[in-house]
């Protein structure tokens, strides 16, 4: 991949990681611990029991969450840019893939975000994911113009 092919994925991934992390913090807060969703993700990775007080689980979960957000974002950008998918259907497909993946991880490991968040919260998280993907891609694919070229092409 060239720099140009990675850049939209990085921009989109940044928006998605920020939005979904914020949503998960809010959901964790409602459950009694801001870090609980991240500890659950870390527990799936490290094959441990979910404990919101374990800093290693929280950090591992946060890093894995952000990494996965960037990975799914790059896949979405590739679907839109290279495969020609419209952005909204691509974002919905990726969000649905994330929802199914979270469920599969929980079924296979007895940990993961689906082990601590109810289905309604996970659906809201998928909607946040899809919306953030669309917004991130809109930012990523904005035509780049500097002030001089804008002034020349649009005198008003």
Q: Worst-scoring range by mean pLDDT, 22-26, 85-89, 144-148?
A: 144-148
User: Of 79, 83, 81, 118, nearest to 97 (Cα)?
Assistant: 79
* Domain residue spans of the chain: 3-141
User: Of 60, 26, 21, nearest to 43 (Cα)?
Assistant: 60
Whether the Cβ atoms of residue 41 and residue 102 lie closer than 8 Å to each other:
no
Cα–Cα distance list, 111 to 16, 36, 52, 97 (Å):
23, 11, 12, 18
**pTM for this model (two decimals):** 0.84
Q: What's the average model confidence in pLDDT over 7-15?
A: 93
């Amino acid at each position: 991949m060239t720099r140009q092919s990675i850049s939209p994925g990085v921009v989109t991934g940044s928006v998605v990681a920020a939005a979904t992390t914020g949503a998960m913090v809010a959901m964790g807060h409602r459950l009694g611990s801001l870090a609980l969703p991240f500890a659950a993700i870390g527990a799936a990775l490290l094959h441990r029991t979910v404990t919101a007080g374990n800093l290693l689980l929280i950090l591992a979960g946060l890093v894995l969450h952000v990494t996965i957000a960037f990975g799914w974002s790059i896949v979405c950008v590739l679907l839109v840019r290279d495969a020609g998918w419209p952005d909204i259907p691509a974002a919905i497909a990726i969000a649905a893939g994330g929802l199914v993946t979270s469920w599969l991880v929980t079924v296979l490991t007895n940990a993961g975000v689906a082990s601590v968040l109810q289905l309604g919260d996970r659906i809201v998280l998928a909607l946040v994911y899809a919306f953030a993907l669309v917004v991130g891609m809109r930012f990523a694919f904005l035509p780049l113009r500097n002030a001089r070229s804008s002034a020349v092409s649009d005198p008003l």
